[in-house]
Amino acid sequence: MEYEVVIGCEVHVELKTKTKIFCSCPTDFGGEPNTHVCPVCLGLPGTLPVLNKKVLEYAIKAGLAMNCEIAHFSKFDRKNYFYPDLTKAYQISQFDLPICKNGYIDIETSEGKKKIGITRIHMEEDAGKLVHQGATITTSAGSLADYNRAGVPLIEIVSEPDMRSAEDVLAFLTNLKAIIEYTGVSDARMEQGSLRCDVNLSLRPAGQKEFGTRAEIKNLNSFRAVERVIKYEIDRQTDILESGGKVVQETRTWDDGKGMTFSLRSKEDSDEYRYFPDPDLTPIIVTDAYIEELRASLPELPQVKRARMIEEDGLPEYDAGVITASKALADFYDGVRAHYDDAKKISNWIMVELLAKVNAEGMELEAVKIQPEQMAALLKLVDSGDISGKIAKKVFAEMFATGKDPADIIKEQGLVQISDEDALKEMVSHVVEANPKSVEDYKAGKTKAMGFLVGQIMKQSRGQANPAVINKLLAEKLDSM
Amino acid sequence: MISKDVVEKVAKLSRLHLEEEEIAQYADQLNQILDTMAGLQQIDTDGVAPLAHVLPIENVFREDEVGECFTQETVLANAPEQSNGMFQVPKIV
Amino acid sequence: MTLSRLTIHELHDLLVSKEISATELVQEHLDRIQALDGNVKSYITVTGDLARKQAKAVDAKLAAGETIGMLAGIPMAVKDNMCTEGIPTTCASRMLEGFKPQYSATVVEKLKAEDFVMLGKVNMDEFAMGSTTENSAFFATQNPWNADCVPGGSSGGSAASVAADLAVYSLGSDTGGSIRQPASFCGIVGLKPTYGAVSRFGLIAFASSLDQIGPLAKDVTDTALILNAITGYDKKDSTSADYNYPDYTAALTGDVKGMRIGLPKEYLGEGIDPDVEAQVRAAAAKLEELGAHVEECSLPYTRYAMPAYYLIAPAEASSNLGRYDGVRYGLRAPAEDVAGMFCDTRKKGFGPEVKRRIMLGTYALSSGYYDAYYLKALKVRNLIKQDYDRAFEQYDCLITPTAPTTALRKGNNQDPLALYKSDICTIPTNLAGIPGLSLPYGTDRNGMPIGVQLSGKAFAEPALLRAAYALEQNTNLTRLKPNQGKGL
């Protein structure tokens, strides 16, 4: 039977505030265990939470960037369950009145464009970290609890089950990540756990309206894992259905090493969270004025930026898509563009040279030493004929390594292009005399020989000769022979 | 009417280990208590908002400014069991 | 001189005039605790060294000619559910036996700033759940008026220590009557302030939307003085009210002319001991005689307060008490795995009443029952508040009994439901978040003290103090002393 895949995502994004959601402990990563904690985030008896204003601001900004309605009245609720990483036996979260709802994110895939609905975005606190003593949670003799992460602010973004393929999901996550990065509310780095994704996946016979039973796969922390999980779950659920079985509604976990998901707990155990309004926290009233103030403070978002690059700068859709998928890259592009006009040239350099280097080094874009002004200066030096394109690549490599100005590198290494005809004529004569065979070939009509001779001259000039001048001089020389 | 099964389910949710005779006793007591609450169901509360907070206090925030943390030693001062600066617990599953 | 019998304001005058020293005063109390608390059993922890040190600091200030605050050097007791840095804070539970918080409750910090002298931490029903202090995991406290009676609860230790002159005043907490009912049973003044008037930071939560800290004292003036020190906005408590708190002693005029006082009929008649009802009517008559306008009124939803309360409070408690899981502090039962540790720790750590309320609350919040129980209770809570809102359009305060009876007999309180009913007069004010004051007003046929409750709208503490002070100044029924032979 043909099955249709139905996928929805729950994405947890860690907000980039200085302090935790309900206390003044720092959110910094690292540090010795249990040193970024206080009585409040440890949930010690008698302590009380007070909401970090920045968390509300960031949650609303994220909601606006995803086209959500912002709730004028919102509140916090307690989600009650026992687990050693939870200091109060409840997580402070939002249940029936989340801060944002009914938004969407645009995606574009090989199937075309579509909107993925955002059901809701709510604020909540993170739990602590458990270190298992032993190979895995199931074989460990015990566990150790570190509460440095307890109380770090999160937003949970819940999508509608609007996705139908891994490609949809990856496009959704890519755009979601970019939007979050642009708004500046989070670093949104999956590798570091500041963006985590749960995938809800079910199958239904093609054409059927009702959804099938879904499995929820928790805590995926790379795009690659998301892609693999989806493929794996589609196969697993197809096998179950084909063999006449029933998919169990449950939470599953992904073992990246084994490339398999396995059951964590069935839904009946975990469903009973006994949500109720947290009496320790007061309601949140958001005014239109505040919403508009935050809307006005939002930077240009990826979709808009992408459209601008295509329409105003004339970039191909592909280039604009790659550049806007990362805020750092788009910022770099904009920075260069402010000093240099030829958008396509900028894009080529970014897509080919810059990304190649960054990927080869496996580094973060934020760590790139080259400033946009320096990049613009390099392109101008090529345009003016001061250096050749080939030399420019060499200069670029040096800029990438050291962060130095291109002009300084050129001066230090003596890389200025030689366009002086007198100086080059000598080199041309020299090469022509040394390669009589090639000259003969050229005369016999083998134009390829010309290329060989240019190459030899460039080699002698250590790449600094102006190729246009060489071509002209060489042609004159050969024709005169 | 609360059955023993419900008592057991509630005890499990509450992480309370109950003995057999306690289950029966709690079932009795909870039923008696809930009986007295039956009167609530007769009150017409249509259009009445639930009152979770008695005072009209809203929008209480703190600024995003870092304050002092406990030292690890202080954090663990009351710990029943600890190891490597963390709280030791038995195996999870 | 029997210093321990005196009030804050009397002792303050003696300290300032240097007729006594704070050291002498604290020592007399410590000696008295040593001699008598073996019977009364009001203290869980006595902090003698700390108290002497605090007293010495006050004496030094006096010697240096510095002015001291009204509470400076006055020995007092703190209910054992308020966190005191470095001093055991147990909530009278095995669960927190040996727990020493690394922080103090805001209210304790505020008193510290007033140069208080803390004698120790006093007994209570475990986690403040109960009306007799018999639910303490450690020992029962006795009523200083009669050794066969309970002091009330949950702030039974707070009330008994003050009534037995083992502390000049004390702090209690009140979720459904836990300050006022024991004050009534022990013949002293107890006040539950408006919700939000005293910070809850550091008060170990029972039911967060109802809990409020307040004073138990020997007279109305002392009550006002303590309120001056403990009320105030606290940025560490989101539910703390940012309000312009007055000088409460300004209300102590003795003049009630023109005050409008309501006598709600739902609090009289069936279920109320006739002696208690007689004293409430007598107090109302006295106020009228002093120039107040008193009339009967009605709060029709009163009878639903008890069921609503016993859904809301346990629901919140079931969540608040989840943190006692054996991981980070307090009791831990040994177990193979984490689930076993949770269940065994909580089985051993909690007493039967705490377990009962956790179960009830968990049930009320469970899916399938939430709307019928918890949500319904919150709606009824609103109706109860609306009752009060209407009443306070007409009245400055209401006068009712504090409890349906005088002190209950000891050892006879196994029926939870019967005990829950002893809170029927005090619960409604907690649900509405309004202040309530219990004033002793005579005794019953057995010589046990009767409490009269005055309640008012939010932040109307001055009105309650005004009426109570007028009764205190114009009768000899409010400053009662237990018959020393019987209870001590």
Per-residue pLDDT of C121-132, as tens digits, reads 999 999 999 999
Q: What is the tens place of the pLDDT at every residue in A188-206? A: 988 888 999 999 999 999 9
The answer to whether C388 faces chain A, any CB pair under 8 Å, is no
Distance (Å, rounded) from C-alpha C390 to C-alpha C299? 9
* Partner-chain contact A80 C322, CB within 8 Å: yes
Q: What is the mean pLDDT of chain C?
A: 96
Q: Which residues contact A235 (CB under 8 A, 6 or more apart)?
A: none
Which residues in B lie closer than 8 A to residue A34 (C-beta atoms)? 70, 72, 75-76, 85-87
Average pLDDT estimate for C168-188: 98
Average pLDDT estimate for C313-333: 97
Q: Which amino acid is at A475?
A: A
Q: Write out the residue range of the structural domain in which residue C13 sits.
A: 3-299+386-487
* Partner-chain contact A90 C322, CB within 8 Å: yes
Which residues in C lie closer than 8 A to residue B80 (C-beta atoms)? 326-332
Does residue C81 sit within a domain?
A: yes
What share of chain C in percent tops pLDDT 70? 99
Selecting from B18, B54, B90 the residue whose C-beta is nearest the C-beta of C336 gives B90
Residue C154: active-site member: yes
User: Cα separations (Å) of A172 from A106, A230, C481?
Assistant: 8, 14, 75
C414 compared with A259, residue with greater pLDDT: A259
What pTM, to 2 d.p., does this model score?
A: 0.91
Average pLDDT estimate for B17-40: 91
The band of A446, judged by pLDDT with boundaries at 50, 70 and 90, is confident
Q: What is the tens place of the pLDDT at every residue in A360-418? A: 888 888 889 999 999 999 999 989 888 888 889 989 999 999 999 998 998 888 777 77
pLDDT given at position A475: 85
pLDDT given at position C74: 98
Query: What is residue C366's three-state secondary structure?
Result: coil
Average pLDDT estimate for C108-133: 98
Which residues in A lie closer than 8 A to residue B15 (C-beta atoms)? 82
Tokens of C118: 């803390």
pLDDT given at position A456: 85
Residue spans per domain, chain A: 3-290, 299-413, 421-479
Distance (Å, rounded) from C-alpha A430 to C-alpha A434? 6
pLDDT given at position A425: 85
User: Cα separations (Å) of A55 from A18, A286, A388, B67, C187?
Assistant: 10, 13, 51, 17, 50
* Partner-chain contact A279 C91, CB within 8 Å: no
C254 compared with A410, residue with greater pLDDT: C254
**Does residue C238 register a pLDDT over 50?**
yes
Strands (E), C372-417: 397-401
Distance (Å, rounded) from C-alpha C132 to C-alpha C181? 9
Distance (Å, rounded) from C-alpha A72 to C-alpha A346? 44
Distance (Å, rounded) from C-alpha A215 to C-alpha A199? 8
Q: What is the CATH number of domain A421-479?
A: 1.10.10.410
Q: What is the tens place of the pLDDT at every residue in A294-321? A: 999 999 999 899 999 999 999 998 999 9
Size of interface B-C (CB pairs under 8 A): 160
Does residue C326 sit within a domain?
A: no
Distance (Å, rounded) from C-alpha B11 to C-alpha B13? 5
pLDDT given at position C134: 96
The band of C487, judged by pLDDT with boundaries at 50, 70 and 90, is low
Average pLDDT estimate for B49-63: 95
* Partner-chain contact C323 A276, CB within 8 Å: no
Nearest to C188 by CA among C211, C165, C207: C165
Mutate which of A20, A97, A132, A144 to test chain B, going by most B C-beta atoms within 10 A? A144
CA closest to A271 among chain C residues: C367
Q: Which residues contact A475 (CB under 8 A, 6 or more apart)?
A: A450
Contact by Cβ (8 Å): C304, C271: no
Give the ipTM. 0.97
Min Cα separation B89/chain A (Å)? 5
Average pLDDT estimate for A321-331: 90
The band of C413, judged by pLDDT with boundaries at 50, 70 and 90, is confident
The answer to whether C105 faces chain A, any CB pair under 8 Å, is yes
The band of A429, judged by pLDDT with boundaries at 50, 70 and 90, is confident
Distance (Å, rounded) from C-alpha C214 to C-alpha C130? 17
Contact by Cβ (8 Å): C159, C125: no
Q: What is the tens place of the pLDDT at every residue in A22-38? A: 999 999 988 899 999 99
Q: What is the tens place of the pLDDT at every residue in A127-183? A: 999 998 876 666 678 999 999 999 999 999 999 999 999 999 999 999 999 999 999
User: Cα separations (Å) of C138 from C125, C126, C133, C480?
Assistant: 10, 9, 10, 29
* Partner-chain contact B87 A279, CB within 8 Å: no
Q: How many residues does chain C have?
A: 488
* Among C residues 313-332, those touching chain B with beta carbons less than 8 Å apart: 318, 322, 325-332
Give DSSP secondary structure letters for C252-293. Answer: --S--TT-EEEEEGGGSSTTS-HHHHHHHHHHHHHHHHTT-E
The answer to whether B49 faces chain A, any CB pair under 8 Å, is no
How far is the first Cα of chain A from the last one, in angstroms, to the nearest whole number?
78
Residue C455: active-site member: no
Token look-up 């069921």 returns C307
The answer to whether C329 faces chain A, any CB pair under 8 Å, is yes
Distance (Å, rounded) from C-alpha C253 to C-alpha C259? 13
Distance (Å, rounded) from C-alpha C83 to C-alpha A140? 36
Element (H, E) at A261: strand A260-266
Distance (Å, rounded) from C-alpha C390 to C-alpha A452? 102
* Partner-chain contact C347 B17, CB within 8 Å: yes
How far from the centroid of its chain's Cα atoms is residue A297's Cα?
A: 22
The answer to whether C217 faces chain A, any CB pair under 8 Å, is no
Selecting from C208, C327, C366 the residue whose C-beta is nearest the C-beta of A274 gives C366
Min Cα separation C328/chain B (Å)? 5
Element (H, E) at A92: strand A90-93
**Does residue A355 register a pLDDT over 50?**
yes
pLDDT given at position A265: 66
Selecting from A44, A48, A143 the residue whose C-beta is nearest the C-beta of C237 gives A48
pLDDT given at position A271: 67
The domain total for chain C is 1
Q: What is the tens place of the pLDDT at every residue in A74-132? A: 999 999 999 999 999 999 999 999 999 999 999 999 999 999 999 999 999 999 999 98
The answer to whether B57 faces chain C, any CB pair under 8 Å, is yes
Query: What is residue C63's three-state secondary structure?
Result: helix
The band of C483, judged by pLDDT with boundaries at 50, 70 and 90, is low
Q: Which residues contact C350 (CB under 8 A, 6 or more apart)?
A: B16, C93, C94, C95, C126, C127, C321, C324, C358
pLDDT given at position C183: 98
Mutate which of B37, B53, B83 to test chain C, going by most C C-beta atoms within 10 A? B37
Q: Where are the alpha helices (DSSP H) in C300-351?
A: 305-320, 338-349
Does residue C335 sit within a domain?
A: no
pLDDT given at position C486: 53
The active-site residue, picked from C21, C41, C42, C79, is C79
Distance (Å, rounded) from C-alpha C349 to C-alpha C387? 40
A429 compared with B63, residue with greater pLDDT: B63
The answer to whether B83 faces chain A, any CB pair under 8 Å, is yes
User: CB neighbours (10 Å) of residue A324?
Assistant: 26
Mutate which of B1, B4, B7, B14 to test chain C, going by most C C-beta atoms within 10 A? B14
How far from the centroid of its chain's Cα atoms is residue A178's Cα?
A: 6
The active-site residue, picked from C21, C136, C178, C422, is C178
Contact by Cβ (8 Å): A477, A438: no
* Partner-chain contact A145 B86, CB within 8 Å: yes
Distance (Å, rounded) from C-alpha C16 to C-alpha C65? 9
**Does residue C355 register a pLDDT over 80?**
yes
SS3 content of chain C, % helix, strand, coil (to 5): 45, 15, 40
Distance (Å, rounded) from C-alpha C150 to C-alpha C160? 9
The band of A471, judged by pLDDT with boundaries at 50, 70 and 90, is confident
Nearest to A395 by CA among A337, A348, A336, A353: A353
What share of chain A in percent tops pLDDT 90? 68
* Partner-chain contact B60 A50, CB within 8 Å: yes
Lowest mean pLDDT: which of A453-462, C22-31, C140-149? A453-462
Q: What is the mean pLDDT of chain B?
A: 93
* Partner-chain contact B61 A282, CB within 8 Å: no
Which residues in C lie closer than 8 A to residue B53 (C-beta atoms)? 209, 239
* Partner-chain contact B69 A35, CB within 8 Å: yes
Selecting from C208, C328, C342 the residue whose C-beta is nearest the C-beta of A87 gives C328
**Does residue A269 register a pLDDT over 60?**
no
The domain total for chain B is 1
The active-site residue, picked from C21, C131, C154, C161, is C154
The answer to whether A82 faces chain C, any CB pair under 8 Å, is yes
Residue C95 per-residue DSSP state: G
Q: C154 preceded by cis ω (within 30°)?
A: yes
Does residue C353 sit within a domain?
A: no
Which residues in A lie closer than 8 A to residue B8 (C-beta atoms)? none
Q: Where are the alpha helices (DSSP H) in C321-351?
A: 338-349
Most confident residue range from A251-260, A298-307, C166-175: C166-175
Distance (Å, rounded) from C-alpha C205 to C-alpha C127? 8
Q: What is the mean pLDDT of chain A?
A: 91
* Partner-chain contact A38 B70, CB within 8 Å: yes
**Does residue A230 register a pLDDT over 90?**
yes
The band of C488, judged by pLDDT with boundaries at 50, 70 and 90, is low
Q: What is the tens place of the pLDDT at every residue in C44-59? A: 999 999 999 999 999 9
Distance (Å, rounded) from C-alpha C434 to C-alpha C384? 11
* Among A residues 37-66, those touching chain C with beta carbons less than 8 Å apart: 39, 42-51
Which residues in A lie closer than 8 A to residue C238 (C-beta atoms)? 48-51, 280-282
Does residue B59 sit within a domain?
A: no
The band of C485, judged by pLDDT with boundaries at 50, 70 and 90, is very low
Selecting from A42, A50, A143 the residue whose C-beta is nearest the C-beta of B89 gives A143
